[in-house]
Structure 1
Amino acid sequence: MFWAEISSDLRPEDRHGYPAGKVTPGRVVELMRRYPNLHGDLSAGSGYNAIARDPEFGLAFLEEFQDRLYFGTDVANVPQELPQVPFFHNLAEKRLISAAALEKITWRNATRLLRL
């Protein structure tokens, strides 16, 4: 439900699902800007949908909030595919976001948070 609020034009019927289409920055963006201690987990399908449904917005969001976003998983079920994995591989391969942002989101932020 949190990630659905990334767009200000969220329809009530989409609140508990995976909204599609362009993102008009909404409450999530507003709250992330207002509260520097608010962090976001991109591991669930809702987090992935929020950043992937509108690539231009998603890339800007990842760059802006790179210090407070996390992607990680404990899924070890080989047949289960997580769309985030090829998504982040594509970002790296095509250099669509900075290497620093990608590293922070995929491992450095978690290392810092967990004091590893």
Structure 2
Amino acid sequence: MAGTGPQVARSPLELLNNQAAAEPPLLVKHAGPVIFSVVGFIAAAGANWATRRPLLSGVHRYVLIVGGSMAAGIYVEKKRAEHLATRDAMFRHYIELHPEDFPPYERKQFKDLFQEWIPIR
């Protein structure tokens, strides 16, 4: 099956194209909101424990805190994606303006990387 393997970037600009990037797994894709929600749930349970209330009392507080923390997680993930996109755009623009600083890659083979072995006795 030719052409099904990972694509090899031949220049630094091709690394920033993101065309060969795989879709992240579902859990990784939504890790921020999930982590924020779990922390919000633990915070609400901790507040109940600290005030010596039953652990699951005040379900409305759990719903509000978990919902708010999930919204905060979505907001943080969105801002992070915007920041990374801006950073990649800056890198791409710099590479386009200074191509002499970023020569194309030369593929190396293993035979070129290893030195000749000489036994020392």
Taking structure 1 as the reference length, the TM-score comes to 0.23
- Name the structure, 1 or 2, with higher relative contact order (CA <8 Å, separation 6+): 2
User: Rg larger in 1 or in 2?
Assistant: 2
Higher helix share: 2
